[in-house]
Amino acid sequence: MVAAMRLLLLTSVCAVIGAACYSGSRATPDVNAAWRGHARAELDARLGEPRAVVPQPDGTSLLRWSRQGQHIELPSGSLDVNVTATSFDVRAEARPGSVENYEYDVASAVIDPGGTVLRFDSSWLAAGIPSGLNLRTGVVFGLHAGAGWLDDAATPMPSLGLYLGGMIGPRLALLGAYAFVNGKDADSFAMGHSWAFAAQYWPTARLAVRAGPAMVLDLDPGLEDPTLSPGAVGALSYALVRSGSFVLDLRFDATLSTSAAFGTVGVGVNVN
């Protein structure tokens, strides 16, 4: 049954990442709109100097960023040998390779005389996500560790957890999560495992909340009487450090089922 739960969880996560992920073309319109009101200097820092700056009749400027690309065709050839009872014919042809340079636009923007972005357009996330924007794209994953507690073990022990999922909106992700919690009671150890399919939401750029159903395996002190039961998980985390998509957070994770309750307090390393 545990193996079946793992397979179901992995299948669900892969389906979310592959089919419903908020990234690329789905996220581009929101990110383009978010650049409005930012300074041109921020775009220059991300994209470099624009390839062209075209003054407009209304006093604004149209900026265009381009990149150089190459189309490479490798050398090729053919060999044809035709042998009959009365003839022997060989035909060979060699074709040289070629390199074709071309230029393509990656983004454009309309800038007012004060250097403020009025409009930004890109068919993909060329400039990335503006600093400070509470928006995430693509795959999210993380690992956390800390002190674990169980309802039937008085002494906390090192515990850990991990998750993997994908964004389905600017601030909402669906993910699969696993928690492994240890505790000690007198001279005996207790243990809890949970496998969850949960939603995670970021109400602010640094604060995240998570909740979802779970299957829970609880082992009493002495690692006896393993009990598998339905339950739920919840988590609350705050990003102490956020640099691009890297996050170091302080977090609290909890699991509650019909047979057990456990959780961890610790720190996590995340990409989201």
Q: What's the pLDDT at 1?
A: 47
Of the residues 126, 158, 188, the one at which a domain ends: 126
Structure confidence by residue, pLDDT tens digits, 182-194: 888 877 888 899 9
- 150 in the same domain as 258: yes
Structure confidence by residue, pLDDT tens digits, 242-254: 988 899 999 999 9
Phi-psi region of 128 (alpha: psi -120 to 50; beta: other; left: phi over 0): left
User: How far is residue 162 CA from its own chain's centroid?
Assistant: 14
Distance CA 18, CA 266 (A): 31
Boundaries of domain holding 247 = 2-23+137-271
- φ and ψ at residue 3, rounded to 5 degrees: -65, -40
- pLDDT confidence bin for 3, thresholds 50/70/90: very low
Considering the domain boundaries, does residue 190 fall inside one?
yes
Count each helix (H run) and each strand (E run) in the chain, helices first. 3, 14
- 167 in the same domain as 241: yes
Considering the domain boundaries, does residue 224 fall inside one?
yes
- The token duo for 235 is 């988590």
Considering the domain boundaries, does residue 132 fall inside one?
no
- 201 in the same domain as 177: yes
HSE-up of residue 83 (Cα within 13 Å, Cβ side): 1
Q: Coil, strand or helix: which one is 107? A: strand
Q: What's the pLDDT at 12?
A: 52
Q: What's the pLDDT at 20?
A: 60
Considering the domain boundaries, does residue 207 fall inside one?
yes
Domain with residue 224: its CATH number is 2.40.160.20
Across the chain, mean pLDDT equals: 88
- 184 in the same domain as 121: no
- 195 in the same domain as 165: yes
- 262 in the same domain as 175: yes
Q: Region 70-83: what's the mean pLDDT?
A: 86
Distance CA 103, CA 154 (A): 66
Structure confidence by residue, pLDDT tens digits, 127-140: 999 988 899 999 99
- 185 in the same domain as 267: yes
